[in-house]
Amino acid sequence: MATKRKESGSKVDSGRGKSPPLLFTAVGDTFMPGTVRFMDGKLLATDKKLAKTFLDQVSPYFQQSDVNFCNLESPISDKGGPLAGRYASFRSYPNMDGLLAKAGIDFVSLANNHSQDYGWEALVDTMERLKKRGIGFSGAGKNMAEARKPALVTKGGLQIGLLSYTANVNTPLGFKAGVEREGLAAVRISPFFLPNHTNEEDIEALRQDIETWKNKVDFLVISFHWGISEGGTHTVSLHQKVMAYNAIDAGADLVIGHHAHALQPVEVYRGKPICYGLGNFVFALEEGFPRETMMFQCRFSRHKVHEMGFLPVYTSRLNRPEVVSPGSAEGRKVVAIMEKICPRFGTKPVVKSGSGFVTLKKTRKPNGQK
């Protein structure tokens, strides 16, 4: 895990394709311990002593993996102020970047509806903190070009790229980066966009980004903050399928989704996995969302996924994620959800006796695939 990250996307030679498969681990919404300030002025805060132990139960699994990802659902900063009009503004304690680095997180997505809760000043502070820790990030920048630039990490002779985008779901006004304006990489959605609710110009920009980088890296991951989040839902929205299929058609190797605050199906399209929603991984304060989540894992080599599955995870009453056995009461809940929601998308979970890892097998082409 000590391999240094590269700062530029130089083209890799074909010999790297002979490297042994690496293990990629991805988790969903990660709101590290901190505060939530509500519109009425009410403030909730995580116990700072407890905050230091939030990742203790899961860190060993990240450390055994080659490449690790999470969606960073809040700024890590003591700067800025809560944006006007936000129902709830998230902010994590300034030392939480150290917990991410200690756990072994390699890169994160900043393209989500809470990253700018305390304004651009706090997000810049977050990016500077991540840089100092050696944690890559994508999806935000001082202009559109920067926001659409990938994070790059090199492990085991392979260079992995991460491009991150957010849909305009529960987002502050002016969130989208412009040619000369700071913000996030976005794909706008609306039921008024026909025929499939996605903005055609944003989809074209997404495809151009992927086509630009797919041959400059050995494995290209796309992170999407999308779908509907109210209360946590297992239901996939039309725009999620449209965005995912376009990403893979353009050359992405893996699509990771989040924002629904609940597990959603995993699909295989053209040999590439789509994780529609990985649920909440760390959510510092109780919100009543489902406690069942996962650490999605896949073995990969150059532009190829060899196998995939997940470690069941359950969020404790202290809101700490803990890996659980598929045979435990909590683990069975996670597996049962995936058994219910995946078959319609052409996959099914397979539990092997004595193993903590649940394999996801492709069964057929789901409805709607070509």
pLDDT(299) > 80: yes
In a domain, 320, yes or no: yes
Q: Quick one: pLDDT at residue 7?
A: 35
Q: How many domains does the chain have?
A: 1
Lowest mean pLDDT among 2-6, 46-50, 287-291: 2-6
pLDDT(329) > 60: yes
Domain that holds residue 240: 20-362
d(CA 94, CA 75): 9
**CATH number of the domain within which 24 lies:** 3.60.21.10
Provide the residue type at 85 as one letter: G
Q: What is the pTM of this model?
A: 0.92
Instruction: Specify the pairing of strand 67-72 against strand 22-31.
Output: parallel
Query: Scanning the structure block, which residue is given the tokens 């809101």?
Result: 319
In a domain, 334, yes or no: yes
Give the mean model confidence (pLDDT) for residues 14-21: 59
Give the mean model confidence (pLDDT) for residues 274-293: 88
- Partnered with residue 275 across adjacent β-strands are 256, 266
Give the mean model confidence (pLDDT) for residues 282-305: 90
By the 8 A CB rule, do 323 and 332 touch? no
In a domain, 14, yes or no: no
pLDDT(264) > 50: yes
In a domain, 6, yes or no: no
Instruction: Specify the pairing of strand 254-258 against strand 272-275.
Output: parallel
Query: Scanning the structure block, which residue is given the tokens 């092997």?
Result: 352
Q: Quick one: pLDDT at residue 365?
A: 73
User: Could you read off the pLDDT of 70-103 as tens digits, one per residue?
Assistant: 999 999 999 999 987 788 899 999 999 999 999 9
Question: How far does Cα 169 stand from its chain's mean position?
Answer: 15
Q: Quick one: pLDDT at residue 303?
A: 97
List the one residue out of 356, 261, 301, 318 whose CA is nearest residue 16.
Answer: 301
Query: Two tokens at 285?
Result: 């304060």
User: Could you read off the pLDDT of 101-147 as tens digits, one per residue?
Assistant: 999 999 999 999 999 999 999 999 999 999 999 999 999 999 999 99
Number of Cβ within 10 Å of residue 98's Cβ equals 15
Of the spans 43-47, 272-276, 354-358, which averages the highest pLDDT? 272-276
Confidence at 367, pLDDT banded by 50, 70, 90: low
In a domain, 2, yes or no: no
By the 8 A CB rule, do 210 and 164 touch? no
Confidence at 348, pLDDT banded by 50, 70, 90: very high
Q: Quick one: pLDDT at residue 14?
A: 36
In a domain, 11, yes or no: no
In a domain, 290, yes or no: yes
Confidence at 11, pLDDT banded by 50, 70, 90: very low
Q: Quick one: pLDDT at residue 286?
A: 64
In a domain, 252, yes or no: yes
Looking at every residue in the chain, the average pLDDT score rounds to 91
* Prior bond of 195 cis (ω within 30°): yes
d(CA 108, CA 101): 11
